[in-house]
Amino acid sequence: MSVRTELPETRVDTPEKRRALPPLLVHALAALGALAVIVALTLVTDEFTNLRIATIGYYLIAVAGLTLLTGLTGQVSLGHGAFMFIGAYTVALLVRRVPSFPLWADLLLASAAGGLAGLLAGAAAARLRGPYLAGATLALAVGLPALTRRFPDLLGGSNGLSFTVHSRPAAVVGVVPELRWQTWIVWLSVLVALVLVVNIVRGRLGRDFRAVRDDEVAAALGGIAVGRTKILAFLVSAVCGGLAGGLQAFLLGTAAPGSFTPALSLSLLAAVVLGGLGSLWGALWGAVALVYFQAWSEDLADVLHLNTDVANNLPLAVYGVILIVVVLAFPRGIQGGFQWLRGLLRRSAEQKEIHENH
Amino acid sequence: MQDFFDLTLGGISAGAVYAALGLALVIIYRATRVVNFAQPALALISTYLAYSVTKATGSYWLGFAVAIVAGTVLGVATERLLIRPLRHRSELSSIIVTLGLLLVLQAVAGMIWSNEPLAFPYAFDFRGRFSANDLFVVLVVLAIAAVVLVVFKYTPLGLRMRAAAFAPEVARTLGVRVGLMLTAGWGLAAAVGSLAGLLATPPFLFPNVLDGVFVYALTAAVLGGLDNPLGTIAGGFVLGVGLSYVSGYLGPEMVTIAALAILVVVLTLRPAGLFGRAKVRRV
Amino acid sequence: MRTTRTVAGIAVLTLALGACGGAGESDGGGGQAATDSAVGVTKDTVVIGTHQPLTGPAAPGYSKISAGARAVYQAINDGGGINGRKIDYRVEDDGYNPTKTVEVVKKLVLQDKVFAIVGGLGTPTHSKVVDYLNTEGVPDLLVSSGALAWDNPQKAPMTFGYQVDYTREGKVQGKYIKDHFAGKKIGYFTQNDDVGRDTQAGLDQFVKDQAVVRQGYDSANTDVTPQLSALKAAGAEVVVCACIPAFTALAILAAAKIGYHPQFVVSSIGADPATLAGLLQDFAKRGGASVSSGQLLAGLIGTGYLPDVAQTSDPWVAYFKGIHDKYIAKEPFTNTVLFGMVQAYTFGQALKAAGPDPTRQKVVDAMSSGVLKGPGLTPFGFSKDSHAGYTGAYVFKINPDTTTTVIQPPAVTDRGTGAITPYAGERATPEQVNLLSK
């Protein structure tokens, strides 16, 4: 059986030879710029919008990880929430059991724990194709959170764990509101991770990923260890998932099985497709869509003053319709839309130029 | 010992339902290479219609019939409106579209019938260690499986459906209306799925009632091999009985973990399921 | 070279993450927020919010509570509001997902600027926002869960319980069983979380030596036949069911399936006769007379603290039935709806008691003043030292026509090992409380 992989082409800007700066530095500088933008954005918005920006942040890194796995390597995972689950519980346990650990260590360990799980999942999944992989990863998303009920004393049973993570240095207490500070930390972590992810995607490993996606046999003939490459994709992707879960736990102070339902995993995948499969920019739009589509449809339900049964279910229906419409009408997602728009502008500019020259 | 016996019987009737819904997934997968995530929602809407018809007329069997017909129509409509436009697209597109449909239909069910649980009756008396209703469920599922197998293997319709699924170009040159056959596959699958919904839902009906059943049905299909109806039926029963033992001996909270463990073990040994054939890929 | 330097730069940035010591240690920030504020209160409105599971797997059984509450707020508003202020009730759907709960509660507090959170539903969900609400100084009133955690005035001065906690209820059940089923074998069938744990803590004070078998259920797994088989195999003659309504009904059906006829004793959260009769009604039509919902339910013993909707002679039931018929006549009038109505009414009383210029502190003071009396058959535990909701329960039996008969009058107790004492206090009538008068 062959997995159909007519995925949209990924735009990879091959580093131009004459560029003086190494790509890692370029990406790091871009990340610094992005951080500056985020900080500015949090300063001009209210606290609740800050929370939404932070939420976009941790979804972004989760969706970016899944983009790398599904969009670039062609491995469909319906269970990425499981890695967030592991990251969140790692932070929760560390904060509660080892309070003296600094936050960065907690987050690093959350990423590592996610990565370890990804390594195992990848090793088990490397031989699986298409729907078999989908089924197995869905079982992962359903099964793993049940561990909390098996070990209620350690993991808090179905109530999960609740805790408060303190991250503000004494100097900024009273100067920067807690949520704003947390948003900065989330985005700082996300951008550091993204720099690494972008570097991987643009590097040799990224080329291997795409080769495996496009044609496994050809990739193998070309000297790429297909199994190992898939496992590496799972590993990197799960590290991102673990970090996302850790950041979520840090931001919201909760780790509970009810947060890591299959619905979470599926909405992450939906975000990958909404944003534009196979593009890291798409991951950003997907994360934004994940947060704002839901908010808007809830506002819509409020505004329309419907009877309760209709109003309660409207956001779900709207979200479903958006998914269907985007896939049917805009197969390349939001990023595809942007590219199309840019192409249109460029063409019209070129035409204008031609007109002027003649 | 009685424990063991009861758990086995309970597992068989649960497994029959997984097998039936799994069968619906396999029929669609064979026809169009799509894993239909909207399957539980199609079955859900049919079952709600059965509820309303039964409530209005007092006849359970009229509701039953309406559900099967409605399921078929829903399946056909889904294929024509949503799946056909995607036939040259990646498998991910169809996953997301069927997922979107799942959300929409569950929401619609909640809007019309509310999110509160409704009492949904069993077909027959449910009392007894292996009740009349349990027997009915198992027999219906076995009968359906037999019918599907016979249709696929021995009837011209089944032959055309298989040809349309596996070699559409060749089939087309031989005069098979490929599109119609694929639609027929979806209709048939959705009918089977609706039947599974009717059997799985009792005692209570609410929008998420089939979610768990669907996860196990997909697990059963993956266990048995997504290409293999017979394997899926077997996978459903094996899973049902196995999970019943887990629930009885290890605790109900272990069931989902056990399903994962079974899947991992089986797929590690046989990546295309117990009865699936690992196809050699053409280069 | 440059790469090394960049990596070093990133490392420094990363270090900034930890520049502030242990993540689990207090930063000394936050502190107690000013509670004398009147956020959410204007000349003519008071904005309040709640989080409820309106969709998703946990919605069945809970999604109608806010409908009941909304009806009472509408009645209050149509009567001119409380001290001239109408109540603006914002319901956020959290789907019983704790992550979502934190998000929507922060939305209510930061964006909607609510005066208070009233009746936030669920232990896994609400436990994640208690710290936040107390740090922000937002009154967190009448939590819809029987967990013990809400009654902690030192650590959570803004948080108040509502329903009787699971341990108190377990004690009342245990005492009743000890008195009336002496020497019989008892089995526990409990939800695998704090509902089960806390209920067992109460039960064990009285019937630990009679308990021969303990079975748990997981709310994600609706096949409870294995558990009921185990209860039957152990010979349990009385089964205490600390379950939500759907699982009470599932347990009853599973028992009927395997021909097991124990005496069920069900906690208030899962013993609403109207809801149970609704869930079991259609089995009557198909299974013949022997499985009518009346016969499935007849003899079932339950505990409760609010009047039962079937007790139409109760002045409060009649009062709320009037509101129900006027505003939400289409919804079935169940104890679940009544639960939401009483909750809303109680908040209305607290707001009224807070005076013409309510502040957050004043409403908290009104709650803990102990003046709130009303629909419940047992009193609230609210005082300076206790934020416990209803402090006891009565015991009832379901009749073959699914009405109920009280078989043990209301009794109150504490959450520790204190005695259970009959409650003889007077209940205020709707006319005496007279909330809707201007």
Quick one: average pLDDT of B232-236? 94
- Amino acid identity for residue A72 in this structure: L
pLDDT value at residue B41: 96
pLDDT band at residue B277, thresholds of 50, 70 and 90? Answer: low
Of C98, C99, C110, the CB nearest to A47: C110
Bridge partners for C395 per DSSP? C303, C408
Pair A326, A319: CB distance under 8 Å:
no
Measured between CA atoms, the residue of chain C closest to residue A299 is: C92
Distance CA C93, CA C337 (A): 17
Which residues 63-92 of C are in CB contact (within 8 Å) with A? Answer: 63, 66-67, 70
- Residue C7 CA to residue A83 CA, distance in Å, equals 26
| Closest residue on chain B to C193 (Cα) | B253
Pick the residue from chain B with its C-alpha nearest to C215.
Answer: B251
pLDDT higher than threshold 70 for residue C282: no
Contacts of A78 in chain B (CB under 8 A): 95
Q: Do B281 and A266 touch (CB under 8 A)?
A: no
Taking the C-alpha atoms of residue A52 and residue A183, their distance in angstroms, rounded to an integer, is 9
List helix spans (H) across A19-157. 23-44, 47-66, 81-97, 103-125, 130-143, 147-150, 152-155
Taking 50 as the threshold, does the pLDDT of residue A341 lie above it? yes
* Residue C104 predicted with pLDDT over 90: yes
Whether the pLDDT of residue C13 is over 80: the answer is no
Residue A229 has a pLDDT of 93
* C289 band by pLDDT with thresholds 50, 70 and 90: very low
pLDDT digits (tens, 9 = 90+) for A228-283: 999 999 999 999 999 999 999 999 999 999 899 888 998 999 899 889 888 899 99
**pLDDT tens digits along A170-215:** 778 778 888 999 999 999 999 999 999 999 999 999 999 999 998 8
CB atoms within 10 A of CB C339: 23
Share of chain A above pLDDT 70, in %: 92
- pLDDT at residue number A65: 96
Tell how strand C211-217 and strand C186-191 pair up: parallel
- Best A252, A318, A319 member to test C by mutation, with max C CBs in 10 Å, is A252
Using a CB-CB distance cutoff of 8 angstroms, which residues of chain A are in contact with residue C26?
A: 166
Partner residue opposite C283 with nearest CB, options B14, B121, B251:
B121
The answer on pLDDT for C27 being more than 60 is no
User: Who wins on pLDDT, A124 or A355?
Assistant: A124
Please tell me whether residue C408 adopts helix, strand or coil conformation: strand
B/e letters for C419-438, b = 16+ CB within 10 Å, e = fewer, are ebeebeeebbebeebebbee
CB-CB contact of A11 with A202 (8 Å): no
Q: Measured between alpha carbons, how far is C110 from A331 in angstroms, rounded to an integer?
A: 37
CB contact under 8 A, C225 and B116: no
C288 has a pLDDT exceeding 70: no
Distance of residue A311 Cα from the nearest chain B Cα, in angstroms: 8
Q: What is the pLDDT of residues C151-180, one digit of tens each?
A: 999 999 999 999 999 999 999 999 999 999
> What is the per-residue pLDDT for C299?
92
CB contact under 8 Å between A259 and C59, yes or no, is: no
Per-residue pLDDT at A310: 86
pLDDT value of residue C291? 67
Determine the residue of chain C that is closest to A145 in CA distance. C220
Q: What is the pLDDT of residue C284?
A: 54
Answer whether A124 sits within 8 Å of B267, measured CB to CB.
yes
The dihedral built from the CA positions of residue A107, A108, A109 and A111, taken in this order, carries a sign that is positive
Q: Please tell me the predicted confidence (pLDDT) of residue B124.
A: 86
pLDDT, tens only, A95-123: 999 988 999 999 999 999 999 999 999 99
C149: phi > 0 → left, psi -120 to 50 → alpha, else beta; which?
A: alpha
- From the list A4, A143, A216, the residue facing B91 with the nearest CB is A4
Section A129-133 average pLDDT: 86
End-to-end CA distance of chain B: 54
- Give the nearest partner residue to B253 out of A6, A149, A324, using CB atoms: A149
- What's the helix, strand, coil split of chain A in %, to 5? 75, 0, 20
Verify whether the Cβ–Cβ distance C99 to A248 is below 8 Å.
yes
C134 within 8 A of C157, measured Cβ to Cβ: yes
pLDDT by residue (tens digit) across C202-225?
999 999 999 999 998 887 788 888
Long-range contacts of C325-334 (CB under 8 A, 24+ apart): C326/C71, C326/C75, C327/C70, C327/C71, C327/C74, C327/C75, C328/C67, C328/C68, C328/C70, C328/C71, C331/C64, C331/C67, C331/C68, C332/C274, C332/C278, C333/C274, C333/C309, C334/C64, C334/C272, C334/C274, C334/C275, C334/C278, C334/C309
DSSP letters spanning A298-328: HHHHHHHT--HHHHHHHHHHHHHHHHHHHHH
- Give yes or no for residue C32 having a pLDDT over 80: no
Are B95 and A322 a contacting pair at CB < 8 A?
no
Q: Smallest Cβ distance to C54: which of B115, B204, B255?
A: B115
pLDDT band at residue A356 using 50, 70 and 90 as cut-offs: low
- Is residue C381 over pLDDT 80? yes
The alpha carbons of chain A give a radius of gyration, in whole angstroms, of: 21
Each residue's pLDDT tens digit, C36-92: 678 999 999 999 999 999 887 778 778 889 999 999 999 999 999 999 999 999 999
Taking CB atoms and an 8 Å limit, are A146 and B254 in contact across chains? yes
**Cβ of A24 and C7 within 8 Å?**
yes
- Binned at pLDDT 50, 70 and 90, residue C2 comes out as very low
Q: Given B6, B208, B247, which is nearest C221 (Cβ)?
A: B247
Question: Does residue B239 surpass a pLDDT of 60?
Answer: yes
What tokens were used for B281? 């890929």
Note the maximum CA span of chain B.
60
Across the A/B interface, how many CB contacts are shorter than 8 Å?
168
pLDDT for position C30: 47
Name which of C2, C6, C32, C91 to mutate to probe chain A: the one with the most chain A Cβ atoms within 10 A of its Cβ. Answer: C6
State which amino acid sits at residue A316.
Answer: L
Question: Which runs of E-coded beta strand occur in C3-93?
Answer: 45-52, 86-93
Does C332 lie at the interface with A, CB-CB under 8 angstroms? no
Whether residue A103 and residue C23 make contact (CB cut-off 8 A), yes or no, is: yes
pLDDT in tens, B180-198: 998 999 999 999 999 999 9
Q: What is the mean pLDDT of residues B61-86?
A: 95
Does position A10 have pLDDT exceeding 60, yes or no?
Answer: no
Whole-number mean pLDDT of chain C? 88
| Mutant choice from C282, C291, C334, C336 vs B, greatest count of B C-beta within 10 A | C282
pLDDT at B162 over 90: no
Average pLDDT, chain B: 89
Task: Note the residue count of chain B.
Answer: 283
Per-residue pLDDT, averaged over C212-241, amounts to 90
Q: Which region among A124-138, A165-179, B21-35 has the lowest average model confidence (pLDDT)?
A: A165-179
pLDDT at B2: 61
**What ipTM, to 2 d.p.?**
0.89
Give the residue from A63, A9, A120, A100 showing the smallest Cα distance to A269.
A63
**Chain A residue closest in CA terms to B35:** A131
CB contact under 8 A, C55 and B253: no
Mean pLDDT of chain A: 87
Q: Look at residue C6 in the predicted model and tell me its pLDDT.
A: 42
Distance (Å) from the alpha carbon of B120 to chain C's nearest alpha carbon: 7
pLDDT tier, C438 (very low <50, low <70, confident <90, very high otherwise) = low
Q: How far is CA C379 from CA B230, C319, C388, in A?
A: 62, 19, 10
Which of A68-77, B124-133, C223-232, C317-326 has the highest average model confidence (pLDDT)? C317-326
The confidence score (pLDDT) of residue B5 equals 86
* Mean pLDDT to the nearest integer, B236-254: 91
Cβ <8 Å between B103 and A124: no
Mean pLDDT of A290-303: 83
Question: Quick one: pLDDT at residue C399?
Answer: 92
Cα separation, B50 vs B56, in Å, equals 10
Size of interface B-C (CB pairs under 8 A): 113
**Residue A1 in this model has a pLDDT that exceeds 60:** no
Q: Which residues contact B260 (CB under 8 A, 6 or more apart)?
A: A139, A140, A142, A143, A144
> Which positions 115-144 of B are in contact with A (Cβ < 8 Å)?
115
Confidence (pLDDT) at C283: 67
**Residue C12's pLDDT band (boundaries 50, 70, 90)?**
very low
Q: What is the mean pLDDT of the segment spanning C316-324? A: 95
Tokens describing residue C232: 């039957």
Confidence of residue B281 (pLDDT cuts 50, 70, 90): very low
Residue C16: how many other CB atoms lie within 10 Å: 14
Q: Tell whether the torsion through CA atoms of C266, C269, C270 and C271 is positive or negative.
A: positive
Confidence of residue A43 (pLDDT cuts 50, 70, 90): very high
Find chains touching chain A: ≥3 CB pairs under 8 Å.
B, C
Band (C290; pLDDT cuts 50, 70, 90): low
Which whole number is the average pLDDT over A141-166? 89
B215 Cα to chain A: minimum distance (Å): 7
Beta-carbon contacts of A18 under 8 Å, excluding residues fewer than 6 positions away, are none
Burial class from Cβ neighbours inside 10 Å (0-12, 13-18, 19+) for residue C413 reads: buried
Beta-strand pair C86-93/C116-118: unpaired
CB atoms within 10 A of CB A61: 31
Percentage of the residues of chain A whose pLDDT score is greater than 90: 53
